Structure formats: C-alpha cells, structure tokens
Amino acid sequence: MGSVFWLMGFCIWVCIFTFCFISVNSESVGREKTVRGSVLIDGKSAIGRIDSDFICVTLDWWPPEKCDYGTCSWDHASLLNIDLNNNIFLNAVKAFTPLKIRLGGTLQDKVIYETDDHWKPCIPFSKNTSELFGFTEGCLPLSRWDELNTFFDKSGALVVFGLNALSGRSIMPDGSAVGAWDSTNAESFMRYTVKKGYPIYGWELGNELSGSGIGVRVAADQYASDTISLQSIVQDIYKIIEAKPLIIAPGGFFDANWFKEFISNTTKSLDVVTHHIYNLGPGVDEHLVEKILNPSYLDGEADTFRRLQSTLKNSVSSAIAWVGEAGGAYNSGHNLVTNAFVFSFWYLDQLGMASAYDTKTYCRQTLIGGNYGLLNTTTFIPNPDYYSALLWHRLMGRNVLSTSFSGMKKIRAYAHCAKHSQGITLLLINLDNNNTVETKVSFNSTRTLQHKHKSHSHRTKIIRLRRRKKKSETTREEYHLTARDGNLLSQTMVLNGKILSLNSSGHIPPLEPLYVNSSEPITVAPFSIVFVHISNVVLPACRREGTID
C-alpha cells in the first residue's frame, strides 16, 4: 500500500515539474528579447558624397502584354499609356521636389521617335515572340512627348532619357551587335526637345548592352566610340545653352573588364557611369524573403560597388557612378514581396550601401509598373517603399559617414550628415524577428560638439552627446517604420504606430517624427526600420566650405 502512495506522489511531482517546465518554456518561446548594441560613427571626414537628389526612379516602356511567369503586371504604366492626369501620381512626384526620373528600360533600344526624319507610321509596340525582347519596334509620338513634358514641368521632375543604342547596328546570331550607332533619329528627337524648351538632366545611351548583354551586346570599344559621338551631338545641339545635359552610359550590368575598357576610352566624353542591380534573382524565386532577411546575402552586392569605385579611382576619367536601374528581382519582381513592406529592408540597405561607395544617384525600378513599383500600378496609391524613399530624400544629407554597429549581426546601420539641418541622420534596419535592440551612439572624431575642449590633442576621442537646454538639442527625432499588423508582406506602411494613407484629395500624408530624450538609447523593434535625426552634434565631416550639409 505504501508503494502505491509513493507511486502516486511521484506521479504528482512529475506532473508538477512538467507543468512548470512547460510553463517556463511557453513564456520564453516567442518572447522578444532585448539586445544591447552600440553605433560608432566616424565624424572626421566623409567616405562618400551623394547628389542632393540621390533618389531616382524609372518609368518603363513595357505595354500591358508584358507578362512574366503567367502574370501580366504592367497594365497601363508605360510611358506611352500612363494616366498623366492622375492627381495621386502628380502629388507623389511633387512630394520630392525634385525627383529624378529615368525614362528607359529594355524596349528603349527598340524605340523610334516620330520626327521629321521618320516617315513610317508611328505605331506602338506589339507582342511578337520571334522578335528581340519579344516585341516589335514601337514609336514615341511627339504629341505624347509633349504631354510627358507637361507632366514633368508640373511635378518638377528631373528627366534622364534613355536613347535607342541599337539603331543602325546588325545583330549577329551569337547576340553581338556590330556596326556604329546610327544617331540620325535620336539627333532629330533631341533637336525637337531643345526647340520646345524641354529641360533634360541627362541623355543616356542604351540599356543592358554592356558585357555579355541581355539578349544582345555591344563591344566596349564600339560603345565608347558611340558615346563620344553622343557627347559631340549634345555639344552641338546645346551650344547656345549654358547648362548642358549629362552624358550617361552604359546602363548595363557591371562587367569589370568591359567597364574598364569603356571608361578608359571615354575619359573626356562621359559624365556618369550607370550600372543595374537585380541581385535577388528572378521574380519567381520562392526564397526572395529569405534572401532579403539574410545579412550575408545583402553584403554580397558590396563587391560590385567596391569594384566599380576602384575602377573609377584608378582611371583618369572624371565620371561618377550611378545605379541606373535596380528592381532587386528581375522579370517584373514578385507580387506581395517586391511591392510589400519587406522590400524596404532590401531597398534602404541598397541606398545605404551604394552611398557608402560614393554612388551619387540610385534609380529604383520602377516609379510605377510591374510588381516593384513605388506606386500601385492600377490605383497609384503608394507602396511601402515610396515612404522609405521619401524619408531618405528628406533626412539623409549628402555627406556619408563611416558607420559600424556592434551587438547583433542582423542590424544594418548607415549614417549621413543631416539634410538641410545640423547634426546627423542615422538609419537602423532590424532584420531579426525576435530581438529588440537598444543602442547608444558614439562618435569617433577630434571634434564633435559645439563647445571647446581644453585638450588640443588631435588624438581620436569617443565623445557622447550631451544634454542641451533647448528642446531641439535635448531631444532627437525618430521615425519608426513597421508593417501593418506585423505582416512583412503587407502593402501598408506604419510610421510611429500610425498607418500612412492618402487624404481625400490624394495628397501624401505628413511624415511626422517622435521626439525622444537624447539621453535614452535608440530602440529598434523586431522587423522594423528607424531613421533617427540627432541635431545636437557637429562633426567635421558635416562641414563643407563653411556650411552644414
């Protein structure tokens, strides 16, 4: 009988222990942890300097019949058919004041322009799978060019136009395009543009014809010769105009040997070297989210930026680097990934990384169209990346600061001098779903604050922010971006707990910060993005010709 009681007691003890064990673990599983971290910013000198209008977007030529993997995602978002009278569209562009817009894409090398030299009927693209890129030639009517320029004028956009670089060439069976560029039609179109007084920020020659090319390729020496021809034409057409457009090329994927040869042969003719980025692979890839949230995968693209920067530094060319087109996942992206909140992790990381390697401008594919537009293709309502781009444009200044984070591998950290104000703007991206990060900021600089130090030594010091009497100097501004209901595939952006949505007139909502005591650590929630404007610090790197950037 005693053994029975002992057995019953043992069972009760086991049950109690098991219940306690399960209870403890059920509390710990899914519980968010807090990780301490630190950001170190080197304020002695800038590591790069971007354009003040760094944010750039593209408008493409694809007609509604453009389909990928059985999905047709372009609708009426082409240069030829987009509704230029849409009020949301206009307001979205105006909010940047100004926004660079690159007009181009795959079909630009099959576009003919309705000018005096063009005697054929001006007909649009039509689908034909036996043709290069799957479509026939298409024509840009001058009446449509007039309409586009009316829109650009209203919106204040800066226009980069991609010219047809295959005109006059013969395409061989192996995909090589031989012969010189026939500039006749392009020159006539450019003269019309100048005659009408339409401002062009830059003329770009060709799309994805460099290196191995996409569908077709042009040799580097021939491309250089054609770029020199373009520069000569621009000089002639704009000879009585003081501000001349930039000469931009090649608008293709980086190939070290090809780019080196091309740059070395265009030292006096080329202003901007453009390259394209689709480092996530095809839009049909089922592992896109996994790649976006993987810091090691994101780091892989740094090699392209590094090698192009080195190529330019080691040349005698004065040309600068742009990302001319970047959609992340090629073939129109992936619905509910490249147009959802999760893509802001990739996009903002790309902006930060490109800046750190002295890239001057970054053009996102697309403003609208496909599954990677900043605006919804049919409703024009902003997708999450639109707000990410707008915050960057308003907060991140031109001078780029060397920035490092210690504490957790899944935090991405970038810092710039603040835009149009004193201090710095810090961008923190948390790719982790379980860890909240609390971080302090310190500065590695000989001078950081607006007070004198007794020591005159130029040795490096770690100097923390100090409290000030004025509100603007005792607090910092924070912009916390999260997905609606925590769903990374949501197409709704939340700023500081408030859903961002257009008002009844179709205007972009105000992007208002939280004000946080400067002495408090910066808190970055799981799967969130934070812009932090810290005004109570002055760094030598943020002074240029006696002014604050």
- Transcribe 347-396 into DSSP letters: HHHHHHHHHHTT--EEEES-SBSTTS-SB-TTT-PBPHHHHHHHHHHHHE
Q: 447 is written with which tokens?
A: 């001078």
| Phi, psi of 102, rounded to the nearest 5 degrees | -95, 120
What's the burial of 141, exposed, middle or buried (CB within 10 Å: 0-12/13-18/19+)?
Answer: middle
Give the three-class secondary structure for 178: strand
Of 291, 370, 299, residue with least CA distance to 74: 370
Q: CA angle, corner 522, sides to 40 and 448, nearest 5?
A: 40
Q: Which residue numbers are catalytic?
A: 208, 325
- Transcribe 137-153 into DSSP letters: -EEE-HHHHHHHHHHHH
Of 309, 354, 525, 352, residue with least CA distance to 435: 525
Of 438, 428, 522, 439, residue with least CA distance to 475: 522
Q: Where are the beta strands (DSSP E) in 180-339?
A: 202-205, 246-252, 272-277, 281-282, 320-326, 329-330
The HSE-up count of residue 509 (CA atoms within 13 Å, CB side) is 18
Gap between the Cα atoms of 73 and 68, Å rounded: 8
Q: Which run of H or E residues covers position 5?
A: helix 2-28
Sign (positive/negative) of CA torsion 110, 114, 115, 117?
A: positive
Q: Quickly count: other Cβ atoms within 10 Å of residue 198's Cβ.
A: 17
